[in-house]
A and B are shown apart, each in its own frame.
Chain A
Amino acid sequence: MENFTPFSSLIGGALIGLSAVLMLLGSGRIAGISGIVGGALKGQGKERQWRLFFLGGLALAALTYPAIFGAPIEIVAQSTPLLTALAGLLVGFGTRLGSGCTSGHGICGLARFSKRSFAATATFMLFGFVAVFLLRHVLEVQS
């Protein structure tokens, strides 16, 4: 467990929670990223506008973080291009079909005691664990 980072992960998680509260208190909306991206793709006018601003905020975070914290952003890919493309398709299709992802169901839905979000969160966690186990320990197509 040499990679274990309980403190920075807890603080980062709390920032995500604060973001969700700010969205709900200010605009009355759920900070669910898959819904925000999906809505930005098909929405119009005001419905598209706030979503684009939210996505702009995400980009701004990545662009300013290295200057603010004096540390680079570490992104270490875990998949080949082919598997990455497949994963993207599954995540895009699945989150829209299932009305949410880690943020909407996981962070916001659980706090609203939504039965649907509990079920969805348990399901995607389970399938995430199983997929990693199969790919890395049974089929060994990834390492």
Chain B
Amino acid sequence: MKPQTQAQAQAEAQDSTANARQFDMANALTALGAGLLFGLGLIVSGMINPSKVIGFLDLAGNWDPSLIFVMGGGVTVTLCTFWLVLRRERPLFDKQFYLPSKADIDTRLISGAALFGVGWGIAGLCPGPAMTGLATLDPTVVLFVGSMVIGMVLQQLLDE
């Protein structure tokens, strides 16, 4: 390592905090843009509408297969691009990728998914459409989000 004066070290430290702040800003804007795209996708696709979701889940009723196309469109894009992005050493604005590390299929995973599926079937709402629809102040969506947050907090409390 090169010897450096205190002033140089200080300047570098300042540089790196300025960098970190820029990175935080870039991450915040990335999240805002991604949220906007995600929400528009949910609205354009019709998935924000519980009646559309129930139309898909109701195989024995007047079945509407549209949600297969939502899933198909989404997964096609991620399938074609994720592997390329993950060949990078790190993302654009952070030091590392933050990916789920668990690998085994356990009771928690399956029972959680089962409970979620039942709730999804009852109201036709899942977290994305609910959080997007919240801004319309639709009373059903507001009630759903309120109890969803309680459910999440309960689960986190039981975990501790």
Interface residues of A (CB under 8 A from B): 1-6, 8-31, 33-34, 37-38, 41-42, 46, 49-51, 53-63, 65, 69, 73-79, 81, 83-99, 101-103, 105-112, 114-116, 119-121, 123-133, 135-137, 142
Is A99 in contact with B100, judged by CB distance below 8 angstroms?
yes
6 contacts between A and B (CB under 8 A): A21-B77, A26-B34, A50-B30, A61-B39, A62-B43, A133-B59
| A98 vs B100: C-alpha distance when bound (angstroms) | 12
Task: Give the chain B neighbours of A110 by CB distance below 8 A.
Answer: 75, 78-79
> Is B5 on the interface with A (CB-CB < 8 A)?
no
Contacts from B to A (Cβ < 8 Å): 24, 26-55, 57-67, 69-79, 81-83, 85-86, 88, 90-94, 96-100, 102-105, 108-128, 130-136, 138, 140-141, 143-156
What's the Cα separation between A23 and B94 when bound, in Å? 11
- Residues from chain A with Cβ under 8 Å of B54 in the complex: 78, 132
Q: Smallest CB–CB gap between B130 and chain A, Å? A: 8
Minimum CB–CB distance from B104 to chain A (whole Å) comes to 7
Is the contact region of chain A dominated by helix, strand, or loop, or is it mixed? helix
Q: What residues on A are CB-neighbors of B73 within 8 Å? A: 9-17
Task: Let me know if B112 and A18 touch, CB within 8 A.
Answer: no
Query: What's the minimum C-beta distance from B120 to chain A, rounded to whole angstroms?
Result: 5
With A and B bound together, what is the CA distance between A96 and B116 in angstroms? 9
Partner of B117, one of A28, A93, A126: A126
A112 touches B42 (CB 8 A): no
A54 to B30 CA separation, bound complex (whole angstroms): 8
A120 x B109 contact (CB < 8 A): yes
Report A-chain residues with C-beta under 8 Å of the C-beta of B60. 133, 136-137
Q: How far is the CB of A1 from chain B (nearest CB, A)?
A: 6
CB <8 Å contact, B122 and A57: no
**Would A129 and B97 be within 8 Å (CB), given that A57-B36, A95-B112 are in contact?**
no
Nearest CB in chain A: distance from B159 CB, A: 8
Bound form: Cα–Cα A128–B27 in Å: 34
Report how far A55 CA is from B32 CA in the complex, Å. Answer: 8
Q: Considering the chains assembled together, what is the distance between the CA atoms of A74 and B37 in angstroms? A: 18
Contact check: which of B34, B70, B79 meets A57 at CB < 8 Å?
B34
Cα(A51)–Cα(B152), bound, Å: 15
Do A11 and B45 have beta carbons less than 8 Å apart?
A: yes
Q: Which 4 pairs between the two chains have the least Cβ-Cβ distance?
A: A57-B35, A98-B112, A12-B45, A92-B151
Contacts of B110 in A (CB 8 A): 98, 119-120, 123
